[in-house]
Amino acid sequence: MELSLTNERINAQGSLNLTGSILSYHTPLARLFAKRLSARPDKISDVDILTTQIGLLCQGRTHYEDVELYRRDEAKGFSLSMGIEKIPSEPTLRHGLEALAGEQSMCKIEGVNLAIFKDHQISPLSINGRFYIPYDIDVTPMDNTGSNRENVGRTYKGCDGFAPIMSNLGTEGWLAHHEFRPGIQHCQKGTPEFLKRNAQLLNKLNLNLNLNLNLKHPVLHRLDAGNDSEDTLEELRSSGNYFLTKRNLRRENKVNWLSHAKWLRVKLKVPEKAKKSTLAPSNT
């Protein structure tokens, strides 16, 4: 990519060059979806449907009708940057995405996401001289205040919205997997099943270590106290990976836990200017 000064008009779609390049050169999106055409008379391909939606989301556009902004001549930078042959209308985009919501398409999209990992680093973190690949899993409440969309509800953050769960891999925070959830759903509901699908994803990544994937270090799952549940912990144990879950004390006596921690304390070597810490042995 070359950068140069110009007197020409600068448009808001210029940053999509990077997104379009990643899709074109680092994923099999076009190969997996290009052959299928929409049943509508305009014959817009599935890859154009998907690429248009990706471009909209990258621009912070979450409404189907927003696509009409990029069908105008002055917004042709959108289609050029994303490599879109023909931008769908709002109804075509809506129906096209609904038609692609099946399990087969989801598996293909997962393959597109995995392909991005093949050419990029998944970096570990260092803990006391040992390296781990962090795998952070948590619910991310969204503020959709004023929306009448289906499944918008009161989240634990105190706002009305959705509450999807996401898993991020590596210190870069690569989005590995996610699941749409209603706003009122408790973070623990469905989490063991979500972890099982994440384990399957990690297995696929481990099978491709020869493709420059940095998963030679052990994986460390990290979850919040809302997931301190026996069925979640059992799923984490069965994965064979390390995990760190914040303790949910519920009605347990905090004073007793503090005394127990002091009794089991182990001094840690910490760098200068760092806070003093204690670490309980792993068998506790």
Residue 14 confidence class, pLDDT cut points 50, 70, 90: low
- CA gap 64, 227 in Å, rounded: 34
Facing residues of 223 across strands?
Answer: 245
Are 153 and 58 members of one domain? no
Q: Taking 80 as the threshold, does the pLDDT of residue 73 lie above it?
A: no
Residue 276 lies in a domain: no
Res 35: pLDDT: 54
Are 134 and 213 members of one domain? yes
Res 280: pLDDT: 45
Facing residues of 130 across strands?
Answer: 127
Are 211 and 234 members of one domain? yes
Res 122: pLDDT: 86
Going from the C-alpha of 158 to that of each of 5, 81, 138, 165, 184, the distances in angstroms are: 47, 39, 17, 17, 10
Residue 282 lies in a domain: no
> Structural domain tally of the chain?
2
Six token digits for residue 222: 């990290």
Residue 83 lies in a domain: yes
Are 64 and 164 members of one domain? no
What average pLDDT score do residues 101-111 get?
Answer: 85
Res 34: pLDDT: 66
What average pLDDT score do residues 126-133 get?
Answer: 91
- CA gap 118, 28 in Å, rounded: 12
Residue 25 lies in a domain: yes
Res 201: pLDDT: 86
At 16 the three-state DSSP class reads helix
Per-residue b or e along 198-213, where b marks 16 or more CB atoms closer than 10 Å to that residue's CB: bbebbeebeeeeeeeb
- Domain-ending residue, one of 94, 114, 134: 114
Res 139: pLDDT: 94
Are 169 and 201 members of one domain? yes
Alpha-carbon 278 to chain mean position: 33
Q: Taking 60 as the threshold, does the pLDDT of residue 125 lie above it?
A: yes
pLDDT digits 0-9 by tens, 146-164: 888 899 999 999 999 999 9
Count other C-beta atoms under 10 Å from residue 58's C-beta.
16
Are 71 and 136 members of one domain? no
Are 211 and 96 members of one domain? no
Spell out where the chain has E strands.
125-127, 130-139, 153-154, 160-161, 165-169, 174-179, 219-223, 242-245
- Domain-ending residue, one of 114, 144, 173: 114
Average pLDDT over the chain, rounded to whole? 83
Are 84 and 152 members of one domain? no
Which residues, at least 6 apart from 148, have a Cβ–Cβ distance to it below 8 Å?
Answer: none
Res 41: pLDDT: 58
What average pLDDT score do residues 249-275 get?
Answer: 70
Six token digits for residue 179: 């699941």
Res 105: pLDDT: 86
Res 209: pLDDT: 44
Are 62 and 99 members of one domain? yes
Are 231 and 148 members of one domain? yes
Res 282: pLDDT: 45
Q: Taking 90 as the threshold, does the pLDDT of residue 5 lie above it?
A: no
Are 221 and 193 members of one domain? yes
- Domain-ending residue, one of 114, 142, 165: 114
Res 281: pLDDT: 47
> What is the CATH number for 158?
3.30.420
pLDDT digits 0-9 by tens, 18-66: 899 988 888 888 888 865 555 555 678 899 999 999 999 998 898 899 9
Residue 201 lies in a domain: yes
Residue 73 lies in a domain: yes
Res 107: pLDDT: 86
pLDDT digits 0-9 by tens, 201-250: 888 876 554 444 446 788 999 999 989 999 999 999 998 889 999 888 88
Are 148 and 109 members of one domain? no
Which residues, at least 6 apart from 280, have a Cβ–Cβ distance to it below 8 Å?
Answer: 261, 264, 265, 266
Identify the domain containing residue 63 by its residue range: 16-114
CB 235 within 8 A of CB 195: yes
